[in-house]
Structure 1
Amino acid sequence: MLAQLLFVLISAAAIWLFARNVKKIRRNILLGKDIDRSDAPAERWKTMAMVALGQSKMMKRPVAGFFHILIYVGFVIINIEVLEIVIDGIFGSHRILSFAGGLYNFLIGSFEVLALGVLSACIIFLIRRNIIHLKRFSGTEMKGWPVSDANYILIAEILLMTAFLTMNAADYKLQALGVSHYVKAGSFPISAALASILPDNITALEVIERVCWWFHIVGIFAFLNYIPYSKHFHILLAFPNTWYSNLNNKGKLTNMASVTNEVKAMLDPSFTPPADATPGRFGAKDVTDLTWVNLMNAYSCTECGRCTSNCPANMTGKLLSPRKIMMDTRDRLEEVGNNIDKHGKDYQDGKTLLGDYITAEELWACTTCNACTESCPVNIDPLSIIVELRRYLVMEESNAPASINNMFGNIENNQAPWKYSPTDRINWINQ
């Protein structure tokens, strides 16, 4: 009973802490401006099924895609086994679902094969990051915590899968020895091979099995409460993030309602702006000027670097890294959220996303080609954030490169981006 009580207390504490952290992240995301992404629900469900559930965009890089899908499938299916561990922990039973017979044997065997696959994939990913040093895992933004975070999660998964297989190996051997409470159930294609290296002493086997059992389930609870602080929160956010992704053509930019109303009023003196049309900031200077979808994108970023590795500006040595844009947005949003927790919602720390985190040089390096958005495996849209920050630079600060200011002047004077007079516009026909 003591073990059951301890298990229930640990489970309740883990769930409570996770719910509290998720609530805080949800609060931070909703600091963004409202945007309606409820159109075309059928297409949105299809997009989520293909991109988040089906991992369709991962396979554009087949090697990484294959191993990621292996981890993904293993993570989802092995959690069925966690359900049995939870039931056993609460009621003090052992392999309570073994009544399923042949199906149970098939499932446990499948879990073991997947666990070996997950373990192997994590080792390969560690090698790719720390020995091969793939270029897309480097960059000015990939220092310190982002590097450690990726390694921590891979090592944690290796330890969890090792504990799972070792637990099954000890269980298999205890079943073979006919120890009471260890019912004969399950198929162990992987752990049966590991059983030979374990001792034959029953007491030692029971200790190994129990230690690995507790390590595995407590490790899962710890993992659950780690992911809200990690880039691995995309495990959960990938699904809503793809559902709410932008379904418009990649080259279509949004119009600002305030500017649209001004233009309509100029063209039609009888036009009356909507009653809820309040003047606001042009573009975005801080995270609260972005939409909640932009902020959810920031929390969904996996830091995989596919966006930056496909960015033509970054390829040519420009300062821009779309991954850094998303990471900076998330870091600034976390800072704003922490300030709210400590000082209240009206506290101003004197910092902004534009300037303190992201520079104008980064923004103007963007060609708006949408390569970053197209390559993201969870449909994150860094370009929408870049455009909003550039709008603020132009419309609030009149801070734009000379070439763009020249274009603005030409449009104002010549009604076209070029310096030629409108009356000379068709002279090229005579050449």
Structure 2
Amino acid sequence: MNFLDNILFALLLGAGIGYFTMNVKKLIRNIKLGQDVDRSDNSSERWKNMMMVALGQSKMVKRPIAGFLHIVVYVGFVIINIEIIEIIIDGLFGTHRVLSFMGGLYDVLIGSFEILAFLVLVTVSIFWIRRNVVKIGRFTSTDLNGKPRNDANYILYFEIVIMSLFFTMNSADLHLQTLGIGHYSQAGSFPISQFIAPIYNGISEGTVVLIERAAWWLHIAGILVFLNYLYFSKHLHILLAFPNTFYADLNAKGKFNNLESVTNEVKLMMDPNADPFAAPANPDAVPAKFGASDVQDLNWVQLLNAYSCTECGRCTSSCPANLTGKKLSPRKIMMDTRDRLEEVGRNIDLNKGVFVDDGKSLLNDYITPEELWACTTCNACVEECPINISPLSIIIEMRRYLVMEQSAAPMELNNMMSNIENNGAPWQYNQMDRLNWINE
């Protein structure tokens, strides 16, 4: 590479990383729009969760076929991209396969990259067939119509193109090494590319050099484009799965959080010596709003959940409400939350850092009460999520808003609460009659 190429590479790298950094800052800003919640407890358990669930993929293998295929792509793509270190050094300083000084270790690395790249190509092809030919149920749901369905395929195409460019680059390099052309000295082991290299026989050296250089440039450009596409894609979970599993709720599933203000009010009502007209002991404990009607009312971990969602549909395919034909889809809850959060973020960008009321909210404009009340709170969606996302926590907060702010609970729930208030039990029996069953 000449000096001009080095400058061009530096500009390409700077633009790619710069745009990615800008979007990361926007992502962090949007997540911080959520309410504060303390998830700094029990750090050892949190680190264990992250290592087991995000890094170790322990929940993915509950569905063995998809889990195994995902691990192949995950491990392959991560390890292959270690090669980016060498590409960056070569691009900035005009060297070629600068790490080849490692000798036998370099041969092992390149050989491993090739085998993994081949496995990634095979696995990604299987993923494409599962989505577009076999059409597995959780990939054909209506909540994936439009951009989400296309996004999944775009990522598969990205991976196929990047891996194909990797093999094109390596096979052309190997051919030039064999001919002893210029700086293409013997370096690396190519267990897959050695079967591709013969296609260059009979092609002029200059043309093969051009093919190798074009594949090299397109490969690194493709990686940078892929990196920056992540922000707009469900594959943002590649990065966010780690903090998402670290900050996941460690409480037992089914344990709901209590509102301090409500707890204090109940205690006040039960205390015969309390002054009902006294001012609250801690005015700051009284929230401005009970529950959540928009994304700013949710806590920052729930917003992190929304950005981390893989849209795999395991939650929805296990949801009893969805399986019985109800409108609820836990996956849609997470996708809607992310879409609304992005809309709020764009609003802030357009209004110089300040959110201007747009007359919309997460409730009703994105998620309907019908969806919320279809939930049985069974926690199947939480159990099934491969990266510990909790759609249920968002559903509960939005239900709280409906009940406590709008008094908009379903008739069955209102009847039950009235019975508890009047009879001390959920059933419509007089308190004097509650022990009549003993006589039977």
Question: Shorter-chain-normalised TM-score: which range?
Answer: over 0.9
For the pair 1:109 / 2:114, whether they are aligned, the reply is: no
The answer to whether structure 1 residue 152 and structure 2 residue 154 are counterparts is yes
The aligned amino acid for 2:214 is: V
- Choose from 50, 59, 64 the match for 1:57: 59
Show CA shifts across 1:11-54 (max 9, x none).
01111100000110111111000001111110000010000000
- 2:374 paired with 1:372: no
Q: What TM-score, normalized by structure 1, do the two folds share?
A: 0.98
- Aligned position for 1:352: 361
Distance in 1 of aligned mates of 2:319 and 2:424: 32
CA contact (8 A) 2:128 2:153 kept: yes
Instruction: Tell whether 2:256 aligns with 1:253.
Output: yes
> Which residue does 1:416 correspond to in 2?
425
Moved segments of 4+, more than 4 Å: none
Counterpart of 1:336 in structure 2 is: 344
Whether 2:363 is the aligned partner of 1:361: answer no
Equivalence map 1:307-322=2 (5 Å): 307-322=315-330
| 2:372/2:398 contact within 8 Å kept | yes
Deviation larger for 298-307 or 339-348 = 339-348
Contact 2:111–2:191 (8 Å) recurs in 1: yes
TM-score normalised to the size of structure 2? 0.96
> Corresponding residue for 2:435?
426
Q: Partners of 2:6 and 2:55 in 1: how far apart? A: 35
Partner Cα separation in structure 2 for residue 273 and residue 337 of structure 1:
36
The answer to whether residue 386 in structure 2 is matched with residue 384 in structure 1 is no
Q: Where does residue 67 of structure 1 map in the other structure? A: 69
Q: Deviations over 1:250-291 (max 9, x none)?
A: 110111122122223333427953353243211100010000
Structure 1: distance between partners of 2:104 and 2:434: 80
- Separation of aligned partners in 1, 2:315 and 2:115: 33
User: Counterpart in 1 of 2:189?
Assistant: 187
CA contact (8 A) 2:347 2:355 kept: no
Deviations 1:185-205 (A, max 9, x none): 100000110111124421111
- Residue 209 (structure 2) aligns with: 206
**Are the aligned partners of 1:332 and 1:357 in contact in 2 as well (CA < 8 Å)?**
yes
Asked whether the 8 Å contact 1:372–1:381 carries over to 2, the reply is yes
Q: Shift of the alpha carbon at 1:292?
A: 0.4
Q: Residues of 2 paired with 1:334 and 1:407: CA distance?
A: 38
Alpha-carbon RMSD across the aligned residues, in angstroms, is 1.2
Instruction: Give distance in 2, aligned partners of 1:42 and 1:86.
Output: 36
Structure 1 residues 213-244: Cα deviation after superposition (integer angstroms, max 9, x where no partner): 00100100111111001111000000000000
Deviations 1:122-158 (A, max 9, x none): 1111111111111101222111100111111100100
What is the aligned counterpart of 1:297 among 300, 305, 308? 305
How many pairs are equivalent?
431
Amino acid at match of 1:355: N
Preserved CA contact (<8 Å) 1:261 1:273: no
Aligned residues: percent identity? 64
Deviations 1:62-96 (A, max 9, x none): 11111110010011111111110111001100111
2:125 to 123, 126, 132: 123
1:362 is matched by which residue type in structure 2?
E
Which residue in the other structure is 2:90 paired with?
Answer: 88
What is the rounded CA distance, in whole Å, between the counterparts of 1:362 and 1:279 in structure 2?
25
Runs of 5+ unmatched residues, structure 2: none
Amino acid at match of 1:37: R
Greater shift after overlay, 199-208 or 51-60? 199-208
In 2: Cα distance, 1:44 partner to 1:194 partner? 46
The CA distance in 2 between the partners of 1:392 and 1:276, in whole Å, is 19
Alpha-carbon separation, structure 2, partners of 1:346 and 1:49: 37
Report the Cα distance in structure 1 between the residues aligned to 2:426 and 2:342, rounded to whole angstroms.
41
Q: Which amino acid aligns with 2:312?
A: C
Which of 90, 98, 101 is 1:99 aligned to? 101
Flag structure 1 segments of 5+ consecutive residues without an equivalent. none
Partners of 1:94 and 1:183 within 8 A in 2: no
Write the distance in 1 (CA, Å) between the matches of 2:145 and 2:219: 30
Distance 1:154 1:147 in 2: 11
User: Partners of 1:159 and 1:140 in 2: how far apart?
Assistant: 28
